[in-house]
Copies of this chain bind each other. A is one copy, B any other.
């Protein structure tokens, strides 16, 4: 995993709303619908959309269209790669 990628993932993980989204994603069995996010995050819909985009740009989540809904799924592979990089830092 190159430095640019690490940078983008780290940035995506550096916001409390986005961390919360990932945590709730686990609670909900790795699958969340967009409108469910507003139940636990007190932000407007565009703000939530923005945060979700940061997460998907970092490949931390998959975005799956389902009719007029959108489903988000955790990409645990990329988390594993990220953790792998962090472990290399320990030498």
Contact = CB atoms under 8 A, between A and B. Distances in A.
Contacts of A25: 89
A21 to B, nearest CB: 10
A79 B89 contact: yes
A50 interface: no
A79 B20 CA distance: 20
Interface string A3-18: 1101110111111100
Interface residues of A, number: 32
B19 A14 contact: no
Nearest to A19: B3
A43 interface: no
Given A3-B20, A83-B87, 17 more contacts: A3-B16, A3-B19, A6-B19, A7-B15, A7-B16, A7-B19, A11-B11, A13-B14, A25-B89, A26-B89, A26-B90, A26-B91, A29-B91, A79-B86, A82-B86, A83-B83, A83-B86
